[in-house]
Chains A and B, each alone.
Chain A
């Protein structure tokens, strides 16, 4: 069964303390992996698409990387405004639906 698992479920960091979030997946024939940011009470906001192992994408303090089994979202010197839930998702082959992980709730304390 196609599955996406994110860890940790929650992470608290001090401002400026870098860390990484993990997204592991088991899908047949990966056709991309997406990262989204979601603020409380709002819809997910698209961040990155990664299509092949070894690919990296960067946006401000965020960098996403992809291997054959997992993806990492690295957060460098985070600020309180980076606090949010970060979701990863993969499209299911032959269909168009996204399968999401349960998310990592990130809190950055000032």
Chain B
């Protein structure tokens, strides 16, 4: 499968714990995006990388959130000191210097 992959698919954690998600984009894609989606809503933009540079971050991305894309390949999204309001589907997408973004299957986070 040459699509976008995400790991883990599901994560259950206790409030206050740290979690990290991984995204592997389509191999030749240089742009990588993170979105968050809550039930009944469309995805909301969190952050965007072009190669290894993080070029934009949403106001939604509090200082408890950090994202990296070392060497312009895979990306990680870390949430520190999780809160119940962080429960959502975290989606990763990639694109090749264009507008069509292709999404991965998502990581479902549940904070107890």
Which A residues are closer than 8 A to B by beta carbons? 4, 31-32, 34, 36, 41-46, 49, 87, 89, 91, 95-103
- What are 16 residue pairs bridging A and B, where the CB atoms are less than 8 Å apart in the complex? A31-B99, A41-B108, A42-B105, A43-B4, A43-B6, A44-B103, A46-B100, A49-B99, A49-B100, A87-B42, A96-B31, A96-B56, A96-B95, A97-B33, A100-B44, A103-B42
B104 within 8 A of A: yes
Q: Count the B residues whose beta carbon is within 8 Å of the partner chain — how many?
A: 28
B21 within 8 A of A: no
- Given the known interface contacts A41-B108, A43-B105, the answer about A100 and B43 at a Cβ–Cβ threshold of 8 Å is yes
Q: Give every chain B residue within 8 A of A31 (Cβ-Cβ).
A: 99
B54 within 8 A of A: no
Interface residues of B in 33-92 (CB under 8 A from A): 33, 35, 40-45, 48, 50, 55-56, 58, 91
User: Is the Cβ of A34 less than 8 Å from the Cβ of B48?
Assistant: no
**A91–B102 CA distance with the chains assembled, in angstroms:** 14
Q: Which of B43, B95, B100, B102 has the most CB of A within 10 A?
A: B43
